[in-house]
Amino acid sequence: MSQNQQSGDEASAESESLITTDVQPAETNRRSRSATILETRDLSVYYGDDRALTDVSIEIPEHSVTALIGPSGCGKSTFLRCLNRMNDLIDACRVEGEVTLRGKNVYDEDVDPVALRRQIGQVFQKPNPFPKSIRDNVTYGLEVQGKSATDEDVERALKGAALWDEVKDQLGSSGLDLSGGQQQRLCIARAIAPDPEVILMDEPTSALDPVAASKIEDLIDDLAEEYTVVIVTHNMQQAARISDRTAVFLTGGELVEYDDTATIFEDPADDRVEDYITGKFG
């Protein structure tokens, strides 16, 4: 993405940023001042008796990229899975607090988690296309909603995932025949085909090589024009590059700091965040 800008701003970035690599924080505040779409209040999650998340409160603005970073086991993925109630599938998991999507608490009695998930797409760490044709992968979301998918739907979703040009002649072949990076973009196409409001990404590039990863990063930037993206990442440079806002979780499932990405990486309020970002801890 911003290779050129990066080198141009190198000097200033180096002097200000706490992280050692020459990364320019995303076009700051581009979209982060828009209305809140997702909000959590005092969200706590328990696996049996273990507490995985502690009173997390966060407001995620519409049409933005929000990065969740933190050391392993700090509850980032758990938090992400709370947003579309994928944690319901784990028997021992118990959720307290509120998650609201456009003001409606998704943990209310009258909310059907299956219907909720049709509003929120998810992309996983390991590319997991279904062992079906590329077309069937893309139309899966519409199909389970009982809608018939047209060729235009398929084309729009694949174009949205920047995959169309590579696969337009082989829509009937298996999604598993694609390369890892292509598979992950197919998963993104699958997620955006039913036109959700929010897309959750759980370390979408960690299983990919750097070239494929940078393609996905570019894509995420484009996706934020239309969708709200929440992304978990282990890669701090990635968070700095692509996100508008960053939330830092630390061990114990605690949200330590949540602010504009530039602020987090240049002038964090919390010493522990500074230590984590500079690599002294975590």
Residue 110 in contact with other proteins, rule: CB under 8 A: no
Cα(135)–Cα(168) distance, rounded to whole angstroms? 10
Q: Decide the pairing of beta strands 93-101 and 65-69.
A: unpaired
The DSSP 8-state label assigned to residue 86 in this structure reads: G
Contact pick of 46, 47, 124, 164 for other proteins (by CB under 8 A) = 124
- Interhelix angle 180-192/134-144, rounded to 10 degrees, is 30
d(CA 134, CA 175) in angstroms, rounded, equals: 5
Smallest distance from the beta carbon of 179 to other proteins, in angstroms? 17
Q: At what angle do helices 180-192 and 210-223 cross, to 10 degrees?
A: 20
Is 114 an interacting residue with respect to other proteins (CB under 8 A)? Answer: yes
Question: Nearest approach, Cβ of 258 to other proteins (angstroms)?
Answer: 24
Q: What are phi and psi of 207, to 5 degrees?
A: -100, 10
Residue with Cβ nearer other proteins (17 or 182) = 182
- CA-CA distance, 261 to 247, in Å (whole number)? 8
Count of Cβ atoms closer than 10 Å to residue 82 Cβ: 25
Total of residues contacting other proteins (CB under 8 A): 35
For residue 143, state whether it binds other proteins (rule: CB under 8 A). yes
Q: What are the C-alpha distances in Å from 33 to residues 55, 174, 251, 261?
A: 24, 42, 29, 13
Q: Which of 8, 10, 115, 267 binds other proteins (CB under 8 A)?
A: 115
User: Residue 72 or residue 148: which is nearer to other proteins going by CB?
Assistant: 148
Kindly tell me which residue out of 28, 44, 174, 235 binds other proteins, with binding defined by CB under 8 A: 174
Q: For the window 83-102, what string marks contact with other proteins as x by the rule CB under 8 A?
A: -x-x--x-xx----------
Report, in Å, the least distance between residue 114 CB and other proteins: 5
Q: How far is the CB of 176 from other proteins (least distance, A)?
A: 8
Q: Which residue's CB is nearer to other proteins, number 23 or number 163?
A: 163
Q: Is there binding between residue 31 and other proteins (CB under 8 A)?
A: no
CB 62 within 8 A of CB 39: no
Residues in contact with other proteins by CB under 8 A are 84, 86, 89, 91-92, 114-119, 121-122, 124, 126, 128-132, 140-141, 143-148, 150, 174, 176, 187, 190-191, 194
